[in-house]
Structure formats: structure tokens, C-alpha cells
């Protein structure tokens, strides 16, 4: 799975064989320049989901439910999902949270909505965590995460993202679930892996340490922009 926000990149990833395109609220940082995902709105995600779903032919398009957008009531949650799926063209939604999210997730699943869970370092809770830090490091927190994962599975989620937790915990969670886990900064034992496109392509200035860079596009774009400026100033382009 790759987090992606626009039509061109979605098409490239789709054609390259990526199974799931996540219209992540990480767009708040990569696209909109915020420090966290907290300010991202439903309108923001719908806007980018439209772009991604226009070019995705094969991959599953999953859209993030923004911070608090589903907490107010089940009817607010349904309203948000309606917009993401009917306007945005997503085929599933992702919700951050454990057992406390179960009533909403059950309601959505019973209403026919495919829901992906997200546990561990759930970025919408960054202010509660006091920063982007590895989660579930002590035995109590690890047991809670396992209980949360089992509760989400019971509620009907079709997969769970495990973000920034110890690799051994991700292995234990993965072995206890029937549904797939998708890891990010959670070691090699998950069923799948997800990266943010701007991190894996080397575009984002401050990628997290666990994000492998498969290209250095920031350097490449910078070089191309400087060459363009140089060519225009020197009269080399246009000829
Ligand atoms: O918003 C996002 O890109 C995500 C991934 C990091 C899983 O939630």
C-alpha cells in the first residue's frame, strides 16, 4: 500500500502493481504544509480522493477519515463515508483507533462499508502522545494493542495498519489475527507494508527514519528546476 494524493502518481503506482492506494490524511503534511494531520478536513480528503480514484484502475482506493470527523455521532460518520465513497470514489475508508472506535466501525460495517483499522502511532493523536514516537513499548500497552486489534477484527475491519510499534509486537498481533496487518515502522512480520509516497520517493524534507527511500526525487527536481532557470537566463531555452 502507498499513500498517494494525485491522479498522475496514482496512475503510476496502479500500473506498477501497488495493491492499495491510500488517500491518507498525511496529505496535511506532504501536500498542505501542516506539521500534523490534525487540521486536515473531510473536504481535503474528498478533493484528493477524487483525483486518485479517477486514474486508479486496478488498486483498491482507501480514504482516511479525518481527525474527529467520525467521533461526533454515527450519522456524522455515515455522512463522512458517503462523501468519501460517493464524491471521492474511494472503495473503503480507514479509521484510526482501537476498542473505542468499535461502535462506529460496527455501524459502518453493518451498513456495507469496508473499513480498515489503524493502531499504534495513530498520527491524529500526536498531541496526546507528545510527538511522533514509537508506541506500545511496555507490556500493558502491548496487551491493550492486541486487545484493540482483536476488537477491531471482531467489529469487521478487513485489515489493520500497525504504525510504529515494536517488530515483535507486530509479529504477535499478525499471528493472532485472521485479517491482514499492514505495517509502517513496525518491522518485517506484517502481512503487507505501507509507505507514504513522498517518503519513499525522497520528496519529503524530513522523512521518518524507518522510511526507505527508493528514489531521490527532491534532489532530481531541484536539479531540473535550477537547470531550467539557468537555461532561461542564458537563452539556451527556448531556442
Ligand atoms: O495518512 C497516511 O498516509 C497513513 C499512513 C501512514 C498509513 O495513515
Ligand 1, atom nearest to 3 Cα:
3
| pLDDT at residue 187, as a whole number | 98
The residue whose C-alpha atom lies closest to atom 3 belonging to ligand 1 is 24
Candidates 163, 220, 230, 236; catalytic one: 163
Ligand 1, atom nearest to 37 Cα:
1
- Averaged pLDDT, 121-145: 96
Residues 181, 86: Cα–Cα separation, whole Å: 27
- Is pLDDT of 13 > 90? yes
For residue 214, give the C-alpha cell.
527508493
- The H or E element that residue 23 is part of is strand 20-23
- Is pLDDT of 132 > 90? yes
Angle at Cα 215 formed by Cα 213 and Cα 216, nearest 5°? 95
- The H or E element that residue 175 is part of is helix 167-176
| pLDDT at residue 236, as a whole number | 98
Q: How far is the CA of 93 from the centre of ligand 1 (A)?
A: 12
| pLDDT at residue 206, as a whole number | 84
Give the model confidence (pLDDT) of 173-190 as tens digits: 999 999 999 999 999 999
What angle, rounded to 10 degrees, do the helices at 42-55 and 7-16 form? 50
Give the model confidence (pLDDT) of 141-150 as tens digits: 999 999 999 9
Give the model confidence (pLDDT) of 82-115 as tens digits: 999 999 999 999 999 999 999 999 999 999 999 9
DSSP state string for 207-238: --TT---S--HHHHHHHHHHHHHHHHHHT-S-
Note the pTM of the prediction, 2 decimals.
0.97
Band (pLDDT 50/70/90 cuts) for residue 208 is very high
| pLDDT at residue 146, as a whole number | 98
Amino acid at each position: 500500500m502507498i499513500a498517494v494524493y494525485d491522479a498522475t502518481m496514482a496512475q503510476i503506482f496502479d500500473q506498477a502493481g501497488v495493491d492499495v492506494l491510500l488517500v491518507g490524511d498525511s496529505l496535511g503534511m506532504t501536500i498542505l504544509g501542516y506539521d500534523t494531520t490534525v487540521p486536515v478536513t473531510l473536504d481535503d480528503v474528498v478533493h484528493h480522493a477524487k483525483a486518485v480514484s479517477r486514474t486508479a484502475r486496478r488498486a483498491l482506493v482507501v480514504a482516511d477519515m479525518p481527525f474527529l470527523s467520525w467521533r461526533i455521532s454515527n450519522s456524522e460518520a455515515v455522512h463522512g463515508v458517503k462523501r468519501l465513497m460517493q464524491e471521492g470514489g474511494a472503495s473503503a475508508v480507514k479509521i484510526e483507533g482501537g476498542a473505542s472506535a468499535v461502535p462506529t466501525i460496527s455501524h459502518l460495517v453493518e451498513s456495507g462499508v469496508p473499513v480498515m483499522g489503524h493502531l499504534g502511532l495513530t498520527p491524529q493523536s500526536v498531541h496526546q502522545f507528545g510527538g511522533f514516537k514509537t508506541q506500545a513499548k511496555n507490556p500493558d500497552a502491548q496487551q491493550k494493542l492486541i486487545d484493540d486489534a482483536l476488537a477491531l477484527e471482531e467489529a469487521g475491519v478487513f485489515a489493520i495498519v500497525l504504525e510504529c510499534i515494536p517488530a515483535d509486537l507486530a509479529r504477535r498481533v499478525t499471528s493472532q489475527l485472521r485479517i491482514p496487518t499492514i505495517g509502517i515502522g513496525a518491522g518485517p512480520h506484517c502481512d503487507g507494508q505501507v509507505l507514504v509516497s513522498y517518503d519513499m520517493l525522497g520528496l519529503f524534507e524530513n522523512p521518518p527514519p524507518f522510511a526507505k527511500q527508493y528514489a531521490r526525487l527532491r534532489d532530481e527536481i531541484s536539479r531540473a528546476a535550477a537547470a531550467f532557470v539557468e537555461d532561461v537566463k542564458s537563452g539556451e531555452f527556448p531556442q
